[in-house]
Structure 1
Amino acid sequence: MIIKEVLDILEELAPLGYAEDFDNVGLLVGEANTPVTGILVTLDTLENVVDEAINKNCNLIVSFHPIIFSGLKKITGANYVERVVLKAIRHGIAIYSMHTALDNSNKGVNAKICEILELKQARILIPKQGTIKKLSTYIPQANAEQLRVALYAAGAGHIGNYSNCSFSVEGTGSYKANPDANPHLGKIGETHYEQETQINITYTKSNEAKILAALFNNHPYEEVAYEIQTLDNYNQHIGMGMYGNLEKPLTEEVFFDIIKEKMNVSCIRHSQFSGKKISKVAVLGGSGSFAISAAKAVNADVFITSDLKYHQFYEAEGKILLADIGHYETEQFTKNLIVDYLTKKIPNFAVSLSESLTNPIKYF
């Protein structure tokens, strides 16, 4: 197995196209065609993690956070980022980051938090725009069903809990082939009229290469007429944060005790208790202050996240309980999620959970 094959498997879980524009995801160090000796999964790639990879004979580190976030103009070992990159290159170790691609996955960071807290009916808190596209194409009626089936198989036409979704219109198409053409129907130099079907079908942008391959491989025309639009629709299955319900309402104090136990948290920074029961819970791993209004909009009783600033706690306004449990703490189970996923996909391959401590924050 080579690195690219592993990365293709990871992209099924968290397509890189779903990462935020500011982020730096994907293969950051190494060559995609290198054979893999072992995979080490970590939250952060620090020098001790690279040392661990060396000791475990793992030449691919799958890291949640990217070690290279902004551009490197030189690599001299002057800081921890440069030292990590130098050591990884020196020992032939590749580094791959998933970060906000996994944040936006409905099976990613926030789904794991919902699982740990046993939240029911979990849904995306901030659905993402720009991830749904629509393909329109025109094909002879006799070939329409074959193309539909191929597009479905490539991943098009999936909307929520429904598959094989499309819309078709029948009409008359026309064209005239020039002397260099090789028309499937009609004669060179003559205008040909054909009863055609217009197929309209939506798909997620991460599947675009597969969709277009299916279109070209199953269309009889020499020149395939098609249009692609990016829709403004919100994708209810991709986006930041999630929210769900507790099996039964709990007091604020009891729920905080559960958070401490299940999330391995020693202290919680929070807004003022209101005295009302907690039933609906919103979560967002990592820095989530931007989602306070979204949590309030879905009428969540509590919003669990991290990195809240002093004045942001005022935004609770007595309508929601804000709970900052720590950046590392909200994302700590992400590496377990990745290891479990890879182990199921490639069960006979060496996938290791990093034992290196990477949380930079200590508590006294």
Structure 2
Amino acid sequence: MKVSDVMRAMDEIAPLSYSEDFDNTGLLVGDANANVTGILVTLDTLETVVDEAISKDCNLIVSFHPIIFSGLKKITGKSYVERVVQKAIKNDIAIFSIHTALDNDWNGVNAMICEKLGLEKNSILLPKKGTIQKLVTYVPKQEADALRSALFEAGAGDIGNYSNCSFNTEGKGSFNPNEDANPTLGKKGDTHFEEETRIEVTFQKHKRSGILKALFENHSYEEVAYEVTTLDNTNQHIGMGMVGRLKSPMTEVDFLKFLKENMNTECIRHSKLLGKSIEKVAVLGGSGSFAIDAAIAAGADIFVTSDMKYHDFFKSENRILLADIGHYESEQFTKELIVRALSKKITNFAPALPESRLILSEINSNPITYF
């Protein structure tokens, strides 16, 4: 198994096309064509993590956070980022980061928080825009069923809890092949009219290349007429944060105790208690103050996130309880999530890499300690 095989598996788990624009995801260090001896999964790629990879004969580190976030102009070893890159290169270790692609995934970081808190009936807090696209194409009527089935097989036509969704209209198309054409229907120089079916299907944008491949491979025309547009429709399964419900309401104090225990945090910074019960919970792993208004609009009783500043707590406006559990604490279970998801994918390559070579890092990379 090569590094590129793991990259494809990770893209199936959380497509990199859903990473935020500011992020730096994907293969950051190393050769995609290198054979994999072992995979070490971590939250952060520190020097100690690279040392751990060396000691455990892992030449691929799959990290949640990217070690290279902004451009490096020099690699002299003066910072921990430069030293990590140097050591990884010297020891032929590749580094791959998933970060906000997993933040935005339905089964990603925030789903893990919901799982730890036992939340039910979950939904996306901030749906990501521009993730749904629409294909319109025209095909000879007698070929419509086969083409439609091929598009469905490639992932087109999935809407929420429904699959194989399409809209079809019958009409008459026309075209005139020139002398350089090689038409499957009609004759060069003659305007040809054909009974056609217009097929319309929506799809998630990360499936675009596969769907277009299916279109071209299953369409008989030399020149395939098609349109792809990006829709403003809300995607129910891609986006930042989640909102869910507790099985039974709790008092604010009881929930904060429950939150502290289940998220394994030593400190919770929170806004003023409102004397209300907690039932609807909004969560967002990592820095989430930008979603306070969304949590309020969603009708959440509490918003659990991290990295909130002094003035952010004023935004509660006595309408919601805000709880900052710490950045590391909100994402600490992410590496277990990656191992769990990747272990299911890696069975496809089992002969090449035993599951025992997929290793969870033992390094606690939390840079913050509490007195």
Same fold, TM-score > 0.5, yes or no: yes
Please give the per-residue CA displacement for 1:266-312, whole angstroms capped at 9, x wherever unaligned.
Answer: 11100000111100000000000000000000110000000000011
Equivalent residue for 2:180? 180
Matches within 5 A, 1:299-310: 299-310=299-310
**How many residue pairs end up in the alignment?**
364
Work out the CA distance in 2 between the residues paired with 1:52 and 1:352: 10
Listed as ranges, the matches of 1:138-153 within 5 Å are 138-153=138-153
Q: Any idea what the Cα deviations from partners look like across 1:130-160, whole Å, max 9, x if unmatched?
A: 0101011111000011111000010110001
2:247 aligned partner: 247
Letter of the structure 2 residue corresponding to residue 47 of structure 1: E
Equivalent pair of 2:117/2:259 in contact (CA under 8 Å): yes
CA distance in structure 2 between the aligned counterparts of 1:33 and 1:293, rounded to whole angstroms: 45
Corresponding residue for 1:237? Answer: 237
Q: Is the 8 A contact 1:128 1:236 kept in 2?
A: no
The runs of 4+ residues in structure 1 deviating greater than 4 Å are none
CA distance, structure 2, for counterparts of residue 239 and residue 67 of structure 1: 23
Question: What is the CA–CA distance in structure 1 between the aligned matches of 2:14 and 2:294, rounded to whole Å?
Answer: 23
2:236 alignment partner, SS class: strand
Where structure 2 has 5 or more consecutive residues not aligned to the other structure, the ranges are 348-353
TM-score, length basis structure 1: 0.99
1:234 & 1:35 partners in 2: Cα distance?
A: 40
Q: Structure 1: any 5+ residue segments left out of the alignment?
A: none
For residue 215 of structure 2, give the secondary structure of its aligned residue in structure 1.
helix
**What is the DSSP-based 3-state SS (H/G/I as helix, E as strand, rest coil) of the residue aligned with 2:329?**
helix
Aligned to 2:190: 190
Contact 2:13 2:342 in 1 (8 A): no
**Alignment match of 2:362 (pick from 349, 355, 359):** 355
Q: Which letter maps to 1:128?
A: K
TM-score (norm 2): 0.97
1:229-258 alpha-carbon deviations (Å, 9 max, x no partner): 011112111000001000000011111111
Q: Which residue of 1 aligns with 2:290?
A: 290
Q: Is the 8 A contact 1:286 1:330 kept in 2?
A: yes
Alignment root-mean-square deviation, CA? 0.7
Aligned to 1:320: 320
SS in 2 for 1:261: helix
Question: In structure 2, what is the Cα distance between the partners aligned to 1:270 and 1:262?
Answer: 17
Please give the secondary structure, in 2, of the residue aligned with 1:31. coil
Deviation of the 1:70 alpha carbon: 0.4
1:20-31 aligned within 5 A: 20-31=20-31
1:12 offset after TM fit, Å?
A: 1.0
Query: What's the CA shift for 1:181?
Result: 1.3
The corresponding residue for 1:263 is 263
Q: Secondary structure at the match of 2:208?
A: helix
Q: Secondary structure in 2 aligned to 1:121?
A: strand
Map 1:4-43 → 2, pairs under 5 A: 4-43=4-43
CA contact (8 A) 1:243 1:281 kept: yes
Is 2:163 the counterpart of 1:163? yes
